[in-house]
Structure 1
């Protein structure tokens, strides 16, 4: 997909991050600070528009007594003011009660994502479904990731690279791996067929399979937190962007009813027949 330059925007990226009391406030106009794909496009009929994003996260986040699913809310926000929205509101046979939700990053359903693994909601909000490549294009794989954003619960978000020993800042740098893996065998009911990653239900968490926990994070030291913190990591494999919170998410990241990631496809997008995959990108 072709990319357009930032200079093509009539409105440029505006983001303000400031601390007031116990909270960090992130306000942004939602215009990316990097090149994007062409929007609207054949699979995403929406145009990027200026937003009035205002997010709030605690300065001193705490681990909650239980893990919370992200659901269709925003997981967090990048330092450039663009939200991380991992879930696609797309279901097998377009039935949200089917128990089979398509994975946006699988490539099995074309949502018109650009090279930043992002696209646009009907209200014009540009958002990431995976690694924000335009934002990290100049990063090095031999250095620990910098903070790329904040999750709704206030914990920092990093990308890919961390210390091999989570307790030592002098430890070698390595790409951190998710602990989710594809299930074996075939699906029980629904679309049938083997577990190939088309649906989020094709994956399962296997403790110790990778480096990260079920929230795609870990307790560790980082350059910004040498004394240690819980930190989330975006990964190149599922879940890409975490789908669960270790802490308590702030309500400013909740989606208002009707503002979720709907209508990513053109209205004439054909409905797959039972047991049939949607078209590939």
Structure 2
């Protein structure tokens, strides 16, 4: 497969975001340049009834539901997130037999990366930019802690329309699914291109293995001037670079694995403990139903 840059085609993605911003709203101004510890809201609240269905029909897998998770969540609204969880009309479809394109497609703002088995989507990108400018080339890492987003213990929060969504590893969900570090991860969900999503452990060459990201922080300091200063510490997505062989996953946090669902093996995406946690690109073609407003 061909390589992409660390910012996943950022010029294209950010230009798209700029167009959305002009048409719809202004982004919040930020000048933070240092990471802060995440202050996660404890997951103590029952969000209500979860309705979710994952069915294979013909050449498609169809996921429907109400967007309410099947595990406890944090209190919403909260100090960092003023929105209330509300039911959604989840209606997604993806290829039942996905194929790799031979090139990577970057995840763009306005798209969900994938959907969990409980019908809650993975939406790792945050609409927060240096000086509130999506064209600045500097996008804030949602898990960097510099911007208070009111994330709960599932690394999730709520959009203005009431959509609860994951920015990181959904701890409540993987506990319900029985995840164990000594076993291959249970199936967590599906990416928009149809490939499965697992969490942190896979099987390579017949052995259960911790799946590790191949991204690492850049060395030295940011440019400064009209751009952020300070050291590359994970505040921004652009603080990271992909280093082939640094971990055992590719640029999209993917690898070939053998699992209970795919005994003959499959390419799959993995949620990881380290950045990017949730993948930021696709090896296949994402279905248009994962674009915001198309659910």
Contact 1:167 1:228 in 2 (8 A): no
- The alpha carbon displacement at 1:224 in A equals 1.5
Aligned with residue 148 of structure 1, among 150, 174, 188: 188
Is 1:184 aligned to 2:225, yes or no?
no
**What corresponds to 2:288 in structure 1?**
251
Deviations 1:161-202 (A, max 9, x none): 112xx232xx2x232110000000111231111100000000
- The alpha carbon displacement at 1:106 in A equals 1.0
Q: Which has the higher strand share?
A: 1
**What corresponds to 1:271 in structure 2?**
none
Q: What CA distance in whole angstroms lies between the structure 1 residues aligned with 2:93 and 2:80? A: 32
**What corresponds to 1:174 in structure 2?**
209
Q: What CA distance in whole angstroms lies between the structure 1 residues aligned with 2:256 and 2:53? A: 28
- The alpha carbon displacement at 1:217 in A equals 0.4
- The alpha carbon displacement at 1:66 in A equals 1.8
Contact 1:4 1:38 in 2 (8 A): yes
Q: Please give the TM-score of this superposition, normalised by the length of structure 2.
A: 0.82
Deviations 1:231-256 (A, max 9, x none): 00000110000000011100000123
Q: What CA distance in whole angstroms lies between the structure 1 residues aligned with 2:199 and 2:43? A: 23
120-129 or 104-113, larger mean C-alpha shift:
104-113
Q: What CA distance in whole angstroms lies between the structure 1 residues aligned with 2:87 and 2:191? A: 22
The total of aligned residue pairs comes to 250
Q: What CA distance in whole angstroms lies between the structure 2 residues aligned with 1:14 and 1:195? A: 42
- The alpha carbon displacement at 1:17 in A equals 1.2
**What corresponds to 2:93 in structure 1?**
56
Q: How does 1:73-112 map to 2 (within 5 A)?
A: 73-112=111-150
Structure 1 unpaired stretches of 5+: 260-281
**What corresponds to 1:157 in structure 2?**
197
Q: What CA distance in whole angstroms lies between the structure 2 residues aligned with 1:141 and 1:229? A: 20
- The alpha carbon displacement at 1:139 in A equals 2.0
Q: What CA distance in whole angstroms lies between the structure 2 residues aligned with 1:111 and 1:2? A: 14
Q: Which has the higher helix share?
A: 2
Q: What CA distance in whole angstroms lies between the structure 2 residues aligned with 1:253 and 1:146? A: 23
**What corresponds to 1:41 in structure 2?**
78
Contact 2:45 2:75 in 1 (8 A): no
221-230 or 238-247, larger mean C-alpha shift:
221-230
Contact 2:43 2:154 in 1 (8 A): no
Is 1:132 aligned to 2:170, yes or no?
yes
Aligned with residue 66 of structure 2, among 25, 29, 39: 29
Q: Please give the TM-score of this superposition, normalised by the length of structure 1.
A: 0.86
**What corresponds to 2:272 in structure 1?**
235
CA RMSD of aligned residues (A): 1.4
Q: What CA distance in whole angstroms lies between the structure 2 residues aligned with 1:139 and 1:249? A: 27
Q: What CA distance in whole angstroms lies between the structure 1 residues aligned with 2:180 and 2:42? A: 25
Q: What CA distance in whole angstroms lies between the structure 1 residues aligned with 2:179 and 2:100? A: 29
Residue aligned with 1:196, SS:
coil
Structure 1 residue ranges (4+ consecutive) displaced by more than 4 angstroms after TM superposition = none
